[in-house]
Structure 1
Amino acid sequence: MNFNSLNWGELSPEIFLAEYWQKKPLLIKQAFSNFQDPISADELAGLAMENEIESRIVSCDSQGNWQVDHGPFSDFSQYGASHWTLLVQAVNNWSRATHALITPFNFIPRWRIDDVMVSFSTPNGGVGRHLDQYDVFILQGSGKRRWQVGAPNSELTTLLPHPDLKQVSAFTPIIDEITQAGDLLYIPPNHPHNGVSIENSVNFSIGFQAPSNQELWSSFADKLIDNNSGEQRFSDPDRVPSDSSFAITENDMQQLKAFMLQQLEQSDLFEDFIGQHLTQSHHALEILVPVNEIDAAKLHDILSEPEILFMPVSGLKAAIIHDTNSTLFINGESFKLEKQTLELAELLAQQKPLSTEQVKTFSGCLKNVQLLTSVLNKGYWYIE
């Protein structure tokens, strides 16, 4: 199925960003016509049996007791025919067809997207009323589900019906609709919501990453330590006599703040940090490192085959920062670019399959060969 286009109706990406993004929820009926699940419930269950894939089952019995079980799972029969939901994180890292669901949202930079979580719910299955700290598009697959979404409300009470399950108290919905295959629900951060399956149903949640200040500062500190870039000592050569030996003055604090912020003003250091941080996958990837390293000679031999495709690993995060010296970032690693490698790097960042003929157009340049063999040997791209 082609997921390249989204039926906006009277809306557009520009109107959506101006009026809805991080402001209010939105339901677009039949955003995708004739929608078909890119992954079946059986295939999803198969992924939940794998050790490296994060999964959980949330269930609720007739007495209202909630239970959370974490995968991997070997059997689902104990859960019965209703009142439970299987949730699998980062399915797009293992299913290329599921990863294609990200394409319609390219009007938002790819670095903002975290993963595509897929859930299978039996009748009356759900995870309860809750809210998230990030934006999410929830695409209804097969089956039907009732969704209720409320407005932010500081008076909501946090509930913990299970140690691994955070819910909120009842809210007044501003959206209360039954979704069917192809319907798209957008929920901004801190908007309480609740989805209850009416019948066996599948949902695809395109979640966005929203790093906290704490996460960014902590990761930046790690970057300074790794690079030994934070060893400069505070100095104050223009100090004047203090009126009080036990006071930290406003001037002291401003100088210390400026001293700390100097690191952020180092463009090369900050750009390298932010590119690596924002392209680092938060979930396992199916990295495909070749058995034998690919060098220029090996690549030349590969290109003698006419039907070869160079493919990106599904779910990769990639980005380019353009500056005096542009840099390509893939899965938290940086690749310095030059003018002659920029075109290839942009194709790699877009994660488009490359044919033999396309790669041949770049193979006459040693720098391009080095870039391509590097991403192949790291297992980020592979030969199909």
Structure 2
Amino acid sequence: MDLHDDRARALLDRFRFVPDARLDDLMISYATDGGGVGPHFDSYDVFLLQVKGKRRWRISAQKDLTLQPGLPLKVLQHFEHEQEWVLEPGDMLYLPPHIAHDGIAEGECMTCSIGFRAPSESELTAQFLYHLAERGEATGKAGALYRDPRQAAVEQPAELPAALVERVGAMLANVRWNEQDIASFLGTYLSEPKPSVVFDPPQRPLNEARFIGAASRSGLRLDRKSNLLYERRFFFVNGEEISWTGAKKWLFELANLRCMSAKRFVTLSHDSPVTALLHEWYCAGWIQVGEIA
């Protein structure tokens, strides 16, 4: 919902005591009396905020997470609750990953689910290696091509040559990375919008001069779909890495507050590289004119 409604985005922002790199999304579930999805577990941290009506939550730290076969949802086959609470509007329940839970509506109810990213080790490993490969191609450092000039003629052509395995193993052993490579990967990967996200560029975009004038009067804000992260040397916006040396503190402020006041923008309006960058983001639909939606 945070991608489609500014009020939902504002509610999600109340949870930014957790780093944006971990904050995922806000979903809303509606149910009539007795409704629910059944006992299940999530693979990520989640806050369950009751916003309308009542919902009875039963939870368990059980180790048996076997799922019922043949169902489109991942419903637990065996569920034995250990604790339970009835949440009323304003109440909230925090659940760590893999805590079994079952929520049943008591009358008509609505619950907000605020989820956090918890990528697996295998996911991070695969994506990081892909990131290294992409950077190697982008910088022209793809390395030498595989060659085997001493490969003799074979009688079993389908057999994988032992020399091939050994040579490729040696090539992979030469893969190197440093802390900046890891930071660059995390910044681009964790700021990348989900595949379903589509930005809405302005239908009749202002040219840069008019954009500067409008932002000087009304300020700027990040689009609710945009992700802007940073570390010591780089900014990461919607999956793109940007090296920036000038006006860093104002970009820090835009990232942390998700908006920039008109007064603050005026102090930047003389800096053409900054305004050109912000105008580019505006034309892409990544930022909007106006501090408040």
- Per the normalisation by structure 1, the TM-score is 0.63
Gaps of 5+ in 2: 147-160
The equivalent residue for 1:331 is 238
Matches within 5 A, 1:88-99: 91-99=1-9
C-alpha deviation, 1:247, in angstroms? 10
Matches within 5 A, 1:23-62: none
Which of 247, 251, 272 is matched with 1:345 structurally? 251
> Are the equivalent residues in 2 in contact too, given 1:234–1:259 (CA < 8 A)?
no
Q: 1:320 to 1:333 in 2, by over 3 A?
A: same
Matched, 1:379 2:255: no
1:177 corresponds in structure 2 to: 85
1:110 corresponds to: 20
In structure 2, what is the equivalent of residue 216 of structure 1?
124
Once the two structures are superposed, the pairs formed by residues 60-71 of structure 1 within 5 Å of their partners are none
Deviations 1:101-146 (A, max 9, x none): 2333323211101100111111111111111111111111100001
The amino acid that maps onto 2:69 is: L
Does residue 267 of structure 2 align to residue 357 of structure 1? Answer: no
CA distance in 2, matches of 1:368, 1:247: 54
Tell me the alpha carbon deviations over residues 43-91 of structure 1, each in whole angstroms, 9 at most, x when there is no partner. xxxxxxxxxxxxxxxxxxxxxxxxxxxxxxxxxxxxxxxxxxxxxxxx0
Give me the whole-angstrom Cα distance separating, in 1, the residues matched to 2:268 and 2:121: 41
Q: Given the alignment of the two structures, is residue 129 of structure 1 paired with residue 36 of structure 2, yes or no?
A: no
How far apart, in 1, do the equivalents of 2:204 and 2:181 lie?
Answer: 34
Aligned to 2:17, the other structure's residue is in SS state coil
Instruction: Verify the 8 A CA contact 1:285 1:316 in the aligned structure 2.
Output: no
More displaced stretch, 364-373 vs 374-383: 364-373
Contact 2:226 2:287 in 1 (8 A): no
Q: Distance in 2 between matches of 1:342 and 1:131?
A: 42
**Mapping of residues 1-384 of structure 1, within 5 Å:** 91-153=1-63, 155-162=64-71, 164-227=72-135, 228=137, 231-233=142-144, 258-260=173-175, 262=176, 264-265=177-178, 267-282=179-194, 284-285=196-197, 287-303=199-215, 306=217, 308-322=218-232, 326-338=233-245, 340-384=246-290
| 1:20 corresponds to | none
Q: CA RMSD in A?
A: 2.9
Contact 1:375/1:381 (<8 A) preserved: yes
What's the CA shift for 1:225? 4.2
Q: How has the CA–CA distance of structure 1 residues 259 and 110 changed in structure 2, closer, same or farther, with 3 Å as cutoff?
A: same
Q: 1:297 to 1:347 in 2, by over 3 A?
A: same
Amino acid at match of 1:141: V
What is the alpha-carbon distance in structure 1 between the residues aligned to residue 254 and residue 17 of structure 2? Answer: 19
* Equivalence for 2:149: none
Give the fraction of aligned pairs with identical amino acids, expressed as a percent. Answer: 27
Q: CA deviation at 1:209?
A: 0.9
> Cα distance 1:351–1:290, how it changes in 2: closer, same or farther (>3 A)?
farther
CA displacement at 1:207 relative to structure 2: 0.6
